[in-house]
A and B are shown apart, each in its own frame.
Chain A
């Protein structure tokens, strides 16, 4: 029923703007050196395949039209050609030569792609997939993030990819090809982002009911911005360094347990206290909530300004969306690790009032 109701607005969207976000896929606008190489190979193959396609389809369609007989005499036969050795040799060797050429070109590029950089500035990012989220660890900094990957532009990156349960596949189409996250094994890919921007990352290997929802967001920023972000995220530093919630009149008004009612932010302060009470900090790092330094779930700094949450599965266009999410997460993202806390409607409203201050 919901589908039917959705159909009308979607049909409008369909004709108004065919592809809003994905107007420039990786083949057109690769955002890393590796994606650029792959894109070149893709276009080269496309040109070659198109030539072969036109020749063979042309031959087939021409012969079908040219030699069509509406009512052939039953005992009339065309010349009985049994074959032609010269032609056989030709159509065995010419495609073989084309393919050997394609093979050579590809092998020459594969070396560059698989060569792990030795540059001292190289950043190692640990990627761990699990049902159904992505955990990222940044070099030796001790900083971790979930479903949000931050990378510096222009720095060589090595991703060490693994999984702790079933097989997943780590894929950011605009930045590079996919690599499987196998439990018990670590795979490496390397690339250097060339374009700052926000990119869509997904899991590309069926991993259970939450497979489609196992998405993440990649923020590619300048090296200085990245380092600044990294410092803010240092364990222990998050509460101190994070900006106070916007909307709170003074730093002193940041919610403290036991003093929610005194906070001028109204029930925003009560929300922070409630989050501390409900143990949200066990999994999440939450600026303004003391002791909330968990790294199992996403860091909630800036959650109110994200247009999508839960790895991009759930739309976040205001307090109502956020409230729906925290009241019953698994209804919106099947298989999510976020538990249903059994919040009452009022409790959820209070918490969302606080979350909405985390711009």
Chain B
């Protein structure tokens, strides 16, 4: 036992610092929530509000599935249907997956995991959040403006989440609201990412070198750099569309000498890296959860951290694979195909390292690990279906079909959302101080897994059969009916599994058993403090000697007490600390 005793950690109220700023943070009531600069309150505001947006986006998804369940004579007119699926994607991407991962979990846990008291710029942090809510409401308010033809009561954005001009330059007024809303969301992202970069680089507790950084924080750092570089491109092209609509410019209007493809390059220069903004924080969650619930260190820490960074860099060089059918020269198609295949390599490295982490572990299949393994198995399908559309000629056939809709949902739902729930269950005890119901968590997982596959797997088949995406209806002769019916049934099962989640979360938050500081025997610093953490986060911090400081603490405590139960009894080796 060559373990030096680390200082014991006590988080008792007696040690509470008494600075007046902390007293301000400790205020209670609605005013405290509206004015808080505290990263945990802001994180929670992000999580709760984006979960509400998630529910709205989910309802829109069910309306989409209702529309397509049967061919011909669908319930909604095409104008309204186009608005529904535009809102579904916009809300899910810009108001749920991105802000929940970065703004919600990132805000709450990055300072805790690096042993900081708050973000570097708490007030900018508050500003980032308070831009999200109005922007979201602005986007949704399009439904309350009249349709230009006067045929329908709503005039929301109806050009899809990609909003390609010239279509988006002709749409109803809601399209302008959509553009302004998304620009505001982008500005919020830029502010947030600066805050994360400064916080992670400067506010790590002593001893926490870059190679002892929790992998979730590595993921947040990479995500923030991507956001900072990519988002201005999005804001720029959206502003140009806005100018074309209202100021009489012709950036994307061929009639006035503009070029419709300019928008697509700018949009995808953001939106492909944005795929990594949508998935990297969730990759980070998987790296944490697998370690804790297999009772092993991550297999290949540096490989996982560096592959994250590699994905971040290469993600900027693949955008035109969304544009293989716009008529690019063969040479650029070849380049982007090559880069697209190359970026599969670091992603593959991560998958194999995660599998290596599971291998030989003591797997405890609580809800976080169930969802993490669900993530691994589903994300592999999303990755492989991506290879088809990387093959340029095959993409000529598959582009803009339901195959792509299936692919994106295996990546963003099978990937991001499964990992998101893994993280939500993992950190639920820390945030609420209470334990959730494991059996309801398992029900949620299995119903979600079945519903998810019923909904999204048939989309690959429909895409190959020739069902193009974003159509409001289809003729019965196409033979699309049976699979669409299966998908709609699956979607409602998926929706039902979400009700279980919301029920579990609300009831457990109100009445769950107290969780204690560290119900999972975690590795990272958030588990050293109380659940929920106090406003100032920590009273004292352990010395950081590896990427798993809390495990070091437990081992040290075992050694000091001379307990019989040795940590590495089974392996017959002395319980070494991490070699970093």
Q: Which residues in A have some Cβ–Cβ distance to B below 8 Å?
A: 2-3, 6-7, 10, 13-14, 18-23, 25-27, 35, 37-38, 41-42, 45-46, 48-49, 52-53, 56-57, 59-61, 63-64, 67-69, 72-84, 87-88, 91-92, 95-96, 99-100, 102-103, 106-107, 109-111, 113-114, 165-167, 169, 171, 173-174, 176-180, 182-185, 187-188, 200, 202-212, 215, 308, 312-313, 315, 334-335
Q: Given that A69-B364, A211-B471 are contacting pairs, would A82 and B381 also be in contact in the complex, using a CB cutoff of 8 Å?
A: no
Q: Does B474 contact A (CB under 8 A)?
A: yes
Nearest residue in A to B470 (C-beta to C-beta)?
A206
Chain A positions within 8 Å of B351 at CB level = 56
Write the nearest CB–CB distance from B261 to chain A, whole angstroms: 7
Write the nearest CB–CB distance from A94 to chain B, whole angstroms: 9
- Interface-centre pick from A42, A76, A81, A100 (highest chain B CB count, 10 A): A81
Write the nearest CB–CB distance from A175 to chain B, whole angstroms: 10
Chain A, interface SS category: mixed
Q: Given that A83-B303, A102-B391, A212-B471 are contacting pairs, would A334 and B78 also be in contact in the complex, using a CB cutoff of 8 Å?
A: yes
Q: Does B320 contact A (CB under 8 A)?
A: no
The 3 closest A-B pairs by CB, nearest first: A177-B396, A184-B254, A19-B479
Q: Does B337 contact A (CB under 8 A)?
A: yes
Q: Which of B384, B392, B465 contacts A22 (CB 8 A)?
A: B465
Q: Does B134 contact A (CB under 8 A)?
A: no
B237-272, CB under 8 A of A: which get 1 and which 0? Answer: 000000000000000001100111100000000000
Q: Does B477 contact A (CB under 8 A)?
A: yes
Q: Given that A79-B571, A211-B470 are contacting pairs, would A60 and B558 also be in contact in the complex, using a CB cutoff of 8 Å?
A: no
Write the nearest CB–CB distance from A77 to chain B, whole angstroms: 5
Q: Does B137 contact A (CB under 8 A)?
A: no
Chain A positions within 8 Å of B302 at CB level = 83
Report whether A83 and B170 are in contact in the complex, using a CB–CB cutoff of 8 Å.
no
Q: Given that A75-B565, A81-B360 are contacting pairs, would A3 and B74 also be in contact in the complex, using a CB cutoff of 8 Å?
A: yes
What are 11 A-B interface contacts by the 8 Å CB criterion? A22-B477, A45-B394, A60-B377, A63-B363, A82-B299, A82-B300, A82-B301, A204-B399, A204-B400, A205-B164, A212-B474
How many residues in B have their beta carbons less than 8 Å from beta carbons of A? 113
Nearest residue in A to B324 (C-beta to C-beta)?
A177
Chain A positions within 8 Å of B579 at CB level = 82
Chain B positions within 8 Å of A210 at CB level = 78
Report whether B380 and A178 are in contact in the complex, using a CB–CB cutoff of 8 Å.
no
Q: Which of A49, A67, A215 contacts B358 (CB 8 A)?
A: A67
Report whether A74 and B521 are in contact in the complex, using a CB–CB cutoff of 8 Å.
yes
Q: Given the complex of chains A and B, what is the CA–CA distance between A174 and B478 in angstroms? A: 13
Report whether A3 and B75 are in contact in the complex, using a CB–CB cutoff of 8 Å.
yes
Write the nearest CB–CB distance from B51 to chain A, whole angstroms: 28
Q: Which of B71, B159, B296, B303 contacts A77 (CB 8 A)?
A: B296
Report whether B344 and A95 are in contact in the complex, using a CB–CB cutoff of 8 Å.
yes
Q: Given the complex of chains A and B, what is the CA–CA distance between A202 and B338 in angstroms? A: 30
Q: Which of B190-198, B218-226, B480-488 faces chain A? A: B480-488
Chain A positions within 8 Å of B327 at CB level = 179-180, 182, 185, 187-188
Report whether A312 and B569 are in contact in the complex, using a CB–CB cutoff of 8 Å.
no
Q: Given the complex of chains A and B, what is the CA–CA distance between A64 and B255 in angstroms? A: 59
Q: Given the complex of chains A and B, what is the CA–CA distance between A233 and B466 in angstroms? A: 31
Chain B positions within 8 Å of A111 at CB level = 330
Nearest residue in B to A105 (C-beta to C-beta)?
B391
Report whether B391 and A106 are in contact in the complex, using a CB–CB cutoff of 8 Å.
yes
